Structure 1
Amino acid sequence: MKAETTAIHASDLVKSNTGDVTTPIHLSTTYYRGEDGGYPGGHMYSRVSNPNRSALEKVISELEGGADTCAFSSGNTAGMAVFQALKPGSHIIAPDDMYWGFKKQLLTIFADTLSFDFVDLTEIAKVESYVKSNTVLIWAETPSNPLLKVSDIEALSNIAKQHKLIFVVDSTFASPILQNPIALGANIVMHSTTKYIGGHSDVLGGSLTFAAKNEFWEKVKNIQETGGAVPSPFDCFLLLRSIKTLAYRIKGHCENAEKLADYLNQHPKVEAVFYPGLPSHPQHEIVKKQMRGFGGMLSILTKGDAENARKVVNSVKIFTQATSLGGVESLIEHRASVEGPTTKTPQNLIRISVGLEHIDDLIADLEQALG
């Protein structure tokens, strides 16, 4: 099935005797045991599994072409499960433009147990030079947050295979509709399902999809089930509802973002536009090779300093000044102030999540804000 069909039907559970077309919410935390001590319904305790979570994991697995998916209560807990599954003393190669939440995890939570190098993964020739005897994992984020850098997934997977490393791709900015890293050689695909998969700014979640059910998958699965940082049945219900329209929402996000990027790229008060769909983007050819669209995220550098950038985000009328991304509403923010004093994000950078409003209204709003 194509993605549009998979998104609607892959989560269907076995039809109940009430004939539900939409998966009902299963709130029970525990399940009947049979006379033999087993669990005839397939579930034992909701921390371990739940019908709604099973349906969510199934549809994400099929959209990503993976063997299994572990759903978590947030994107941060999904990423953390990968780091927790590594042996103490392990070394990680991570992107220099890594999502600040994961970077903060490494620097403040795992600094005593793991070592890591933050590398420009777009410079493939240099990546291999960072592989050490204790390197076990390459973590890529493509497109990246907030500079929209694009890493060559296939090239990085070849390095990972050569050195027998685990290769993880944070594909949140792309969604399963635009990019499938497993098909390009990744071992694990990570999503903050809060973003495009949820799509309505009303549910928190994360997921890890595995290319194979191997030993590392077992470790992460154990962390998920034993640690218990799992989404609630209602969270899963909301995500399943949203996934059904994911493919069509992504088309709208991409269409609006391309037009907005073209407009901003010619604006006299914009110093630079970071958007994979622009021919001027440094990795534009790689984008065309590994993605099926250019996404709904872009960042701009305004002319002037941080104060000028803040003035722009404080002047919008339709855009909402808020953190996060991937919702139907357009969001805008001065990114460096979110990431804190140690950020390397330019002080004049504004990150934009392009929503599904009419593009003429979005352009008019930024025209008056920049003016």
Structure 2
Amino acid sequence: MTVKKIATVAVRAGINNDKHHGAVVAPIHLSSTYSLKGFNEKREFDYSRTGNPTRATLAQAIADLEQGSVGVVTSTGMAAAHLVCQLLSVDDVIVIPHDCYGGSYRLYTHLAKRGLFKVIVVDQNDEQALADALAQKPKVVLIETPSNPLLRLVDIEKVAKLSHDVGALVAVDNTFMSPVLQRPLTLGADIVFHSTTKYINGHSDVVGGVLVTKDQALGEELAWWANCIGITGAAFDSYLTVRGLKTLPLRMKQHQQNADAVAEFLVNHPAVEKVYYPGLSDHPSHALAKKQQANFGSMMSFEVKGGEAAVKALFANLDLFTLAQSLGGVESLISHPSTMTHAGMELEAQIAAGIKQSLVRVSVGIEDIDDIIADLGQGLAASQHN
């Protein structure tokens, strides 16, 4: 059978698979429980926490998009990140990036403080620091690329090889890219996970997550744990996410087109101190982005001249951009990482990661680009007259 292109896989998720009534679109199975055929004769599904037809459709679709074996749909993106922890025991070590998402940093460091495992926080682009961390023989190495919020990149293929050499599994948070722009399993990772709340659903109306493994046995182990600790996703949420998934490739094209224009605008604006976006030719990882990503994505951050006061004035003078958590929806969002997405990091950790009070993160939506730039323009102009 011919391998289908990514847009086809996304559109065809669950299409024409209804064996009972011939529904073209996969129906929602809201039942919490399923009958047995008879004594000790289970069907494919018996209880919705363990398995649900609608959730299974989503899991298979994303596993196919990521070119993996097993997909596990979770109730939130953080649940997917937490699921990775079920592979760790008390004496095991997990290596995490020093500049990862604040919620991930909070999760792994606080679980480590409870003695559930050991954590090493490291700049994975510092070769000596990474080598020292790998010398501790970690069980899992977590990669987040591009990083949140500074869009730093890590060479997945290189770090995966180094990690595998010491017997570690490699898990990659691919939320910023989606399977359309980056597929870590093809670059050597063992696990990839997403907050499906973001680009995969794309409409800011569902909270969810997914984890995909390259290896069948590893996926089955993690699926067992997801059921055991009760973090699997709901049927209705899965249905909405499948619906959002169908337009993912189309949405990403428009996101990308708009983001390229916004980055060029910001680089040339006098109120902007610095822009963090891998699509810029002077970004330190521009070449790596071109190598391991299909494109540069629509997340970026920038520093505003004038510090926190200027940031406040910028936010107060925006009409189109919404000041809110999250990212990846069709609408444009803006946030202040230090007090929002990364508030879970201690100030010292924020400073070490390079997160300044003047830093602003934007999720570029798919509105008309002229309106997006006009809105940022009026906000930036006001930021210098606060």
TM-score, L = length of structure 2: 0.93
Indicate the residue corresponding to 1:197 in structure 2: 200
Q: Which amino acid aligns with 1:367?
A: G
Indicate the residue corresponding to 2:368 in structure 1: 358
Identity %: 39
Q: Find the aligned partners of 2:164 and 2:134 in 1 and give their Cα distance.
A: 12
Moved more, 103-112 or 195-204: 103-112
Indicate the residue corresponding to 1:242 in structure 2: 244
| Alpha carbons of structure 1 residues 236 and 172: separation in structure 2 relative to 1, 3 Å | same
Of 109, 113, 118, 2:116 maps to 113
TM alignment of 1:203-282, pairs within 5 A: 203-214=206-217, 216-282=218-284
Unaligned runs of 5+ in 1: none
Q: Find the aligned partners of 2:196 and 2:228 in 1 and give their Cα distance.
A: 21
| Alpha carbons of structure 1 residues 56 and 26: separation in structure 2 relative to 1, 3 Å | same
Of 2, 5, 10, 1:7 maps to 10
Contact map agreement 2:197 2:209 (CA 8 A) in 1: yes
Q: Which amino acid aligns with 2:50?
A: V
Contact map agreement 2:198 2:328 (CA 8 A) in 1: yes
Q: Find the aligned partners of 2:280 and 2:34 in 1 and give their Cα distance.
A: 53
Of 11, 26, 35, 2:29 maps to 26
Q: Which amino acid aligns with 2:117?
A: L
Q: Which amino acid aligns with 1:163?
A: V
Q: Find the aligned partners of 1:197 and 1:161 in 2 and give their Cα distance.
A: 29
Contact map agreement 2:109 2:119 (CA 8 A) in 1: no
1:255-301 deviations in whole A, cap 9, x for unaligned?
10011001101111100000110001110000000000110100000
Please report how far the alpha carbon of residue 334 of structure 1 lies from its aligned counterpart in structure 2 after TM superposition: 1.4
Contact map agreement 2:319 2:375 (CA 8 A) in 1: yes
Contact map agreement 2:13 2:246 (CA 8 A) in 1: no
Contact map agreement 2:16 2:24 (CA 8 A) in 1: no
Please report how far the alpha carbon of residue 92 of structure 1 lies from its aligned counterpart in structure 2 after TM superposition: 1.5
Contact map agreement 2:304 2:358 (CA 8 A) in 1: yes
Of 330, 333, 336, 2:332 maps to 330
Instruction: State the superposition RMSD in angstroms.
Output: 1.3
TM alignment of 1:13-162, pairs within 5 A: 14-40=17-43, 42-111=44-113, 112-124=115-127, 126-162=129-165
Please report how far the alpha carbon of residue 108 of structure 1 lies from its aligned counterpart in structure 2 after TM superposition: 1.9
Please report how far the alpha carbon of residue 36 of structure 1 lies from its aligned counterpart in structure 2 after TM superposition: 4.8
Please report how far the alpha carbon of residue 353 of structure 1 lies from its aligned counterpart in structure 2 after TM superposition: 0.2
Indicate the residue corresponding to 2:358 in structure 1: 348
TM-score, L = length of structure 1: 0.96
Q: Find the aligned partners of 2:39 and 2:233 in 1 and give their Cα distance.
A: 30
Please report how far the alpha carbon of residue 86 of structure 1 lies from its aligned counterpart in structure 2 after TM superposition: 0.7
Deviating 4+ runs (over 4 angstroms): none
Moved more, 125-134 or 201-210: 125-134
| Alpha carbons of structure 1 residues 302 and 276: separation in structure 2 relative to 1, 3 Å | same
1:280-332 deviations in whole A, cap 9, x for unaligned?
11100000000001101000001121121121122111111101000000000
Q: Which amino acid aligns with 2:258?
A: N
Aligned length: 369
Contact map agreement 2:17 2:24 (CA 8 A) in 1: no
Please report how far the alpha carbon of residue 39 of structure 1 lies from its aligned counterpart in structure 2 after TM superposition: 2.4
Moved more, 110-119 or 155-164: 110-119
Q: Find the aligned partners of 2:70 and 2:213 in 1 and give their Cα distance.
A: 5
SS in 2 for 1:186: coil
Q: Which amino acid aligns with 1:32?
A: S
| Alpha carbons of structure 1 residues 134 and 121: separation in structure 2 relative to 1, 3 Å | closer
Moved more, 81-90 or 20-29: 81-90
Please report how far the alpha carbon of residue 125 of structure 1 lies from its aligned counterpart in structure 2 after TM superposition: 5.3
Contact map agreement 1:91 1:132 (CA 8 A) in 2: no
